[in-house]
A and B are shown apart, each in its own frame.
Chain A
Amino acid sequence: MAETTQFELVSPERLVLSRAVEMVVVPGTEGYFGVLPRHAPMISTLDAGIIDIYEGGSVVERIFVAGGFAEVTEERCTVLAENAVPLDEIDPAKVDKDIADTRDVLKDVSDTGERERLEARVVTLQAMARAKRAA
């Protein structure tokens, strides 16, 4: 088996995924970047996008993240994501409905904090829908 690097995907609530991978492609703010074993140490912010896990030269797992941070060292790649959903589990129709619903709620919310939260949610959902369509 080819050389691997330890990939960890962590959400605030739990450790979502921890496995050895041959390569993982992560949606950095300045463009997607691939992490192979013995990658130079770096820290990057992430945009909403898809994490691709490669094994044997092909994608074995695709996960949508709504932004976050990645820490890469020579032997591991850690992604701190706020919201991580496997791409297979995204249902575009449901996402569209969620966007519409959230917008509906948003119409009559006046509290700043609540507004901010809902607006962020719409942006996330839109990114999710885009990612799914592009896939």
Chain B
Amino acid sequence: MPNLKDLKVRINSVKSTQKITSAMKMVAAAKLKRAQEAAEAARPYAVRMDRMIAALGANVSGGDGPKLLTGTGRDDVHLIVVATADRGLCGGFNSTIVRAARRKIDKLLAEGKTVKVMTVGRKGRDQLRRVHGDKIISSKENLARTVVGFTVADEIGRELIRRFEDGEFDVATMFFNRFKSAMTQVVTEQQLIPANLPEGEQEDTGELKALYEFEPDEESILAALLPRNVATQIFTGLLENAASEHGARMTAMDSATRNAGDMINKLTLTYNRTRQAYITKELIEIISGAEAL
């Protein structure tokens, strides 16, 4: 028969775990709200940036454009930017990103390409270090104490462009989680360099775009705009990632709290049964003792 005291201890420990998880859930919910607002607020800039690039891209004929737009003409060296969270306890959030990135790396390696990795966020580095440690050329962590600032994205963007100009890679792709809802996040693969022109609408409004005047001229505007665009895309990715992280953590902590509740119920039931069994046993002892007299 289980020991009553042990059961009591067990129940109490599960109870304090539940307190922690439910507190974490509430913290995550509050942070999620802020992260979502930040992502929402940053959207207008990204949208307008896309629109401008589309207008410019339509006017710059291929081949002679800046390298950030047209690429180096090769795709031998790939840089994979893996954006994850700094902390765990958020369900499959980090693992899904890393898994997608790893699949991409394996595919590129199988094609005989060279792969370099840049990690943003500690968890991504930790998980990739085991297999692809030799490919990590740079890692950033502790980026977002509260809300991701644009300076962070700008810094990463600058580093990326510096490495690109030094000829360290030909193609850069970023992996992050796009926020759909607190329950679902979608791993997204986004090509940063060469810039991915927003397609589709280009043809519909083609005539209108040709009417733009440019000051000073298309090339110089593009040369200034493209680095900003890289930073903006990273920024958008990081914001989406932050919202996803908190959403994932909230969901994970919610189910952890529920599981703890179930466990407490089960343990309490065992505890009560055991207690009754003890009482019954004692009664039987007393009665049979009395009868023996």
Chain B residues within an 8 Å CB radius of A11:
45, 150
Task: Mark B223-246 against chain A: 1 for CB-CB distance below 8 A, else 0.
Answer: 011001001100100000000000
Q: Are A10 and B48 in contact (CB under 8 A)?
A: yes
Docked pose: A117 CA to B231 CA in angstroms: 14
Among B45, B51, B216, B235, max chain A CB count under 10 A is at B45
Chain A residues within an 8 Å CB radius of B212:
41-43
Contact among A13, A40, A45, A82 for B213, CB-based, below 8 A: A40
Q: Are A44 and B214 in contact (CB under 8 A)?
A: yes
Instruction: Scan residues 17-48 of chain A and give those whose CB is less than 8 A from a CB of chain B.
Output: 28-30, 33, 40-45
Q: Are B214 and A43 in contact (CB under 8 A)?
A: yes
B158 to chain A, nearest CB (A): 6
B29 to chain A, nearest CB (A): 22
Docked pose: A80 CA to B155 CA in angstroms: 19
Which B residue sits closest to A81, measured CB to CB? B45
Chain A residues within an 8 Å CB radius of B214:
42-44
* B206 contacts the other chain (CB 8 A): no
Which A residue sits closest to B148, measured CB to CB? A13
Q: Are B216 and A29 in contact (CB under 8 A)?
A: yes
Docked pose: A47 CA to B155 CA in angstroms: 21
Report, as a range, how many residues of chain B touch the other chain: 35 or more
Q: Are B235 and A43 in contact (CB under 8 A)?
A: no
B10 to chain A, nearest CB (A): 48
Chain A residues within an 8 Å CB radius of B150:
11-13, 82
Q: Are A71 and B45 in contact (CB under 8 A)?
A: no
Contact among B41, B55, B216 for A15, CB-based, below 8 A: B41
Q: Do A71 and B55 contact each other (CB < 8 Å), given the known contacts A12-B42, A13-B149, A113-B158?
A: yes
Contact among A8, A45, A112 for B215, CB-based, below 8 A: A45
* A14 contacts the other chain (CB 8 A): yes
* B33 contacts the other chain (CB 8 A): no
Docked pose: A40 CA to B159 CA in angstroms: 37
- Report whether over half of chain B's contact residues are helix, strand or loop; otherwise say mixed: helix
Docked pose: A13 CA to B52 CA in angstroms: 18
Docked pose: A8 CA to B52 CA in angstroms: 14
Q: Do A13 and B215 contact each other (CB < 8 Å), given the known contacts A43-B221, A78-B48?
A: no
Which B residue sits closest to A28, measured CB to CB? B215
Q: Are A42 and B213 in contact (CB under 8 A)?
A: yes
B243 to chain A, nearest CB (A): 15
* B56 contacts the other chain (CB 8 A): yes
* A91 contacts the other chain (CB 8 A): no
* B49 contacts the other chain (CB 8 A): yes
* B258 contacts the other chain (CB 8 A): no
Docked pose: A14 CA to B72 CA in angstroms: 33
* B220 contacts the other chain (CB 8 A): yes
Docked pose: A10 CA to B159 CA in angstroms: 24
Chain A residues within an 8 Å CB radius of B216:
29-30, 44-45
Give me 11 A-to-B residue pairs in the complex whose CB atoms sit less than 8 angstroms apart, sorted by A's number. A11-B45, A12-B232, A14-B41, A15-B44, A33-B215, A43-B55, A43-B215, A69-B228, A71-B55, A78-B48, A117-B151
**18 other contacts beyond A42-B212, A80-B45, with CB at 8 A cut-off?**
A11-B45, A12-B45, A14-B42, A15-B41, A28-B215, A29-B215, A30-B216, A33-B215, A41-B211, A42-B215, A43-B55, A43-B215, A45-B225, A69-B221, A80-B49, A82-B150, A82-B228, A113-B162
Using a CB–CB distance below 8 Å, which chain A residues touch chain B? 8, 10-15, 28-30, 33, 40-45, 69, 71, 78, 80, 82, 112-113, 116-117
